[in-house]
Amino acid sequence: MGIETSEERNSQQRGLQFIPSLKDELRAFCDYCQFSPNQMWTAMGYFVKDLYTTRHAEIIQSLKSTEYPSLGGWVPVIADSRLMVVHNGYNVEKYKASEALRKRVAAASEKNVKPAATMLAAAGVTSLPSSGSKSIPSGVACRVAALEMLRHLWLIKKSGSHKLWVLSLPESYRDWPAADLAGKDYDNISNRLNDESSHFGEDDRKHLSQATQNGLKWVQKAMTVTANPKKKGNLDVVKRWFSDENSTDEDMQAAAATLNAGLKKIAGVIKSTFLLITDMPLDRGNPTKASTNAFVFSSEKIDVIYVEAAFFSNADMFKDLKNWTRIVVHELSHRACKTEDHRYRHNKAGLKPSAADPKFTAAKALENADSWAMFCMDCSGEMVQGDYLKVKVAP
């Protein structure tokens, strides 16, 4: 017995429109745990097909397939899946689709039905090969890949209204499911679908949520400071990070206004319920990416932070929640305020702007992601004396 053979000819063509063959100009903005000039100035080499947003659009298309089950218990799960994936991200109200996929896989496993069999059935495969390597029609691979993304998607809810989406694909993936599963035979697809590991374990997911929630707290504190630049003490904090020898108080009041407007945008992204954290599966096991904490694409349509290998490592000058929060604010400043990476905290010259250094004047600091992140850390009261020394900024 073979598996379902009804090919969806259109699915491949449909997929192609999301995968431009030409390399678009993709500007990725990074944060590293250690200073590495090579990484800083080497193009990161991603293509449009590598963007999460490209795959998101593909999921929406794949879920439109009429070859998902039209009878039986999968119907409501597929219906909710279609409603869950919206233009800008995911619909919180339909998160039950992800939970239902996981529950059904777990319930079937208790009856010795492997996840691959359950997921292929959900994708409309009515009969499975009894053994051996059987090729999988591309339409099946597209449909199961869409559900696989949802099965490994988590909505982390914290106290209050804070919500964060985390996509945590099994460790064996080396690309997004639609690309990774394409062209694989039954045995190899099954290996992926049966992999029940999770790139971000439960603790990691909790920590990512804490980092975004704490990031919002930092940003709100910094908004208070920048909203009242004439209040005693507030302008001093702005000057600490954004003034050089030529800066006037008027310049710093203008800088506070720029910061305040940008911080509002960052807060808006964190509160939006569309923010997604994932890793870039292509980078897994790549030694040249080992000291990358995180990156974003400034032009990506969906708000995605790619959290990479060094994020949870202990190699940074800041540790744990303080560092994770700093990275989140750094990355979202790229997204929301179009900041650049002129200088990192671990630069030997430190983060104090200097009129004599054309690479890091007051104007450059106001465009610099790590300056924004450190300013927010400072406004939140989380900096101790030694922290100022680390970045060579006078307290």
Binding mask 347-376 for Zn ion (x = CB under 5 A): ----------------------x-------
Binding mask 140-169 for Zn ion (x = CB under 5 A): ------------------------------
Distance in Å, CB of 327 to Zn ion, minimum: 9
Stretch touching Zn ion by CB under 5 A, among 31-39, 175-183, 201-209, 214-222: 31-39
In this complex, which beta carbon is closest to Zn ion, that of residue 141 or of residue 269? 269
Pick the binder of Zn ion from 300, 341, 378, 387 (CB under 5 A).
341
Distance in Å, CB of 368 to Zn ion, minimum: 9
Site residues for Zn ion, 255-274, by CB under 5 A, read none
Closest-CA residue to 308 (of 287, 332, 322, 336)? 287
In this complex, which beta carbon is closest to Zn ion, that of residue 205 or of residue 330? 330
Stretch touching Zn ion by CB under 5 A, among 8-16, 230-238, 320-328, 339-347: 339-347
Pick the binder of Zn ion from 18, 29, 154, 218 (CB under 5 A).
29
In this complex, which beta carbon is closest to Zn ion, that of residue 322 or of residue 345? 345
Closest-CA residue to 257 (of 278, 242, 276, 277)? 242
In this complex, which beta carbon is closest to Zn ion, that of residue 29 or of residue 375? 29
Distance in Å, CB of 266 to Zn ion, minimum: 14
The burial class, CB within 10 Å (0-12 / 13-18 / 19+), for 24 is exposed
In this complex, which beta carbon is closest to Zn ion, that of residue 303 or of residue 341? 341
Residue 132's region, left for phi above 0, alpha for psi from -120 to 50, else beta, is left
In this complex, which beta carbon is closest to Zn ion, that of residue 54 or of residue 371? 371
In this complex, which beta carbon is closest to Zn ion, that of residue 31 or of residue 58? 31
Report the C-alpha gap between 341 and 35 in whole angstroms. Answer: 12
Site residues for Zn ion, 198-257, by CB under 5 A, read none
How many chain residues bind Zn ion (CB under 5 A)? 4
> By CB under 5 A, is residue 280 in contact with Zn ion?
no
Report the C-alpha gap between 332 and 272 in whole angstroms. Answer: 13
Report the C-alpha gap between 184 and 167 in whole angstroms. Answer: 22
Q: By three-state DSSP, how is residue 85 classified?
A: strand
Structure tokens at 342: 């002129």
Q: By three-state DSSP, how is residue 44 classified?
A: coil
In this structure, what DSSP letter does residue 338 have? -
DSSP calls for 112-126: T--HHHHHHHHTT--
Write down how long the chain is: 395
Site residues for Zn ion, 99-118, by CB under 5 A, read none
Residue 201: half-sphere exposure toward Cβ, Cα within 13 Å: 3
Q: Are 349 and 392 in contact (CB under 8 A)?
A: yes
In this complex, which beta carbon is closest to Zn ion, that of residue 180 or of residue 341? 341
β-strand 153-157 against 292-297: which pairing, if any? unpaired
Distance in Å, CB of 318 to Zn ion, minimum: 15
- Site of interaction with Zn ion (CB under 5 A): 29, 31, 341, 369
